[in-house]
Structure 1
Amino acid sequence: MTTHPPQVIATLAALQLIARLRDRHGPLMFHQSGGCCDGSSPMCFVQGEFILGDHDVRLGEIGDAPFYISPAQFAYWKHTQLIIDVVAGRGGMFSLENGEGVRFLLRSRLFADDEFLALQAAGRV
């Protein structure tokens, strides 16, 4: 069995917000926005209320919510571990945390060479 580092993780603050949103709205999902309305914010939706593209990549799960990214964004971010955090501010226009006084924020770190090789061996990049 090949092990590899997770491609997306969440801070404790993000996990706590995800739990609150899940309690209020039910099962959730995330999509890493790449674009127009909300910049490059991680967007949180009720599971099934965001239509995924045929080639969107499922990076993993955070707080029991699947996390997807578009192929173009994946090509850009594949060398990094995405770290979903929470900061003060207004949430994305269509994201469930809008109105909470906080928003999800994308942080990242480059994978070490051995981590990236493990991801390649697992067919994840």
Structure 2
Amino acid sequence: MPEVPDQVTATPAALKLIDELKAEHGPIMFYQSGGCCEGSAPMCFPEGEFRIGSRDVKLGEIGGAPFYISKPQFEYWKHTQLVIDVTPGFGAAFSLEGPGGLQFLTRSHVFTDDEIHTLRDAGRI
């Protein structure tokens, strides 16, 4: 059976920033914003500070931090791997990296047909 692809990954730069934020704030979590207030940036919070709803989907973990997305947004993006990166700038006002001069950014990779079949067979989409 083929390996199930990750639905969310992070670049080395994002993993470095995640490690720095965990060292400063303890356990953290991510929520993929749906466009309200902060655009479509991934939001980073101290773990437990953002309330996860029953309709939210856990896509996976990056750097040991859980990563969630709303069910409606998951339905739209389920054929796409989210790749979390970092870029210079000031992040979303509510996100932990906001004041540090860097911001998380979501890039994407559309899954191949084979990856889609593997994800379906694994019950992930």
What band does the TM-score fall into relative to the shorter chain?
over 0.9
Q: Which sections of structure 1, spanning at least 5 residues, go unmatched?
A: none
State the partner residue of 1:60: 60
- RMSD value over aligned CA atoms? 1.0
Percent same amino acid among aligned pairs?
62
d(CA) in 2 for partners of 1:36 and 1:59? Answer: 20
Secondary structure in structure 2 of the residue aligned to 1:24? helix
Query: Is the contact made by 1:2 and 1:122 (CA closer than 8 Å) also made in structure 2?
Result: no
What code does the residue aligned with 1:73 have? Q
Q: Number of residues paired by the alignment? A: 125
1:32 aligns with 2:26: no
TM, length-normalised to structure 2? 0.97
State the partner residue of 2:112: 112
Secondary structure in structure 2 of the residue aligned to 1:75? helix
Structural mapping, 1:7-86, within 5 Å: 7-86=7-86
What code does the residue aligned with 1:84 have? I
TM superposition shift of 1:108? 0.2
d(CA) in 2 for partners of 1:66 and 1:87? Answer: 21
Secondary structure in structure 2 of the residue aligned to 1:60? strand
Q: Which sections of structure 2, spanning at least 5 residues, go unmatched?
A: none
TM superposition shift of 1:24? 0.2
